[in-house]
Amino acid sequence: MGHRVLIVEDSPTMRKLLVFALRRLEGAEIVECQDGMDGLRQLSGEPFDIALVDVDMPVMEGLELIRLIRNEDTLEQIPIVVITTEGASEDRKRALELGADEYLCKPIQANRVLEVVEGLLKVQ
Partner 1 sequence: MSSEQDKAFPGAADLPAPIQKETDFTRELLAENERLREELAQLADRQQGAVRKPHDWEELRQELRQRIDTLEAECTTVRERLDQVERENQQFAERYVEMEEENNNLANLYVASYQLHSTLDLDEVLNIIREIVTNLVGADTFAIYLLDEETRELRAVVAEGLEVSEFPSTRLGSGVLGEAAASTETTCFEVQGEGGDLERPIVCVPLRLGDRPLGAIAAYSLLGQKGGAFSALDRELFDMLGGRAATAIFAAKLYSQSERKLNTIQSFIDLLTK
* Cβ-contact 82, 57 below 8 angstroms: no
Segment interacting with partner 1 (CB under 8 A) among 26-34, 63-71, 90-98, 100-108: 100-108
Segment interacting with partner 1 (CB under 8 A) among 39-47, 60-68, 79-87, 95-103: 79-87
- Tell whether residue 14 is a contact of partner 1 (CB under 8 A): yes
- Tell whether residue 110 is a contact of partner 1 (CB under 8 A): yes
User: Residues 16, 58, 74, 76: which binds partner 1 (CB under 8 A)?
Assistant: 16
* Cβ-contact 98, 64 below 8 angstroms: no
Q: Which is nearer to partner 1, 7 or 43 (CB)?
A: 7
- Which residues does 121 contact at the CB level (< 8 Å), separation at least 6? 3, 25, 49, 50, 79
- Tell whether residue 20 is a contact of partner 1 (CB under 8 A): yes
Question: What's the count of helices (H) and strands (E) in the chain, helices before strands?
Answer: 5, 5
User: Residues 26, 45, 73, 107: which binds partner 1 (CB under 8 A)?
Assistant: 107
Q: How far apart are CA 123 and CA 107, in angstroms?
A: 26
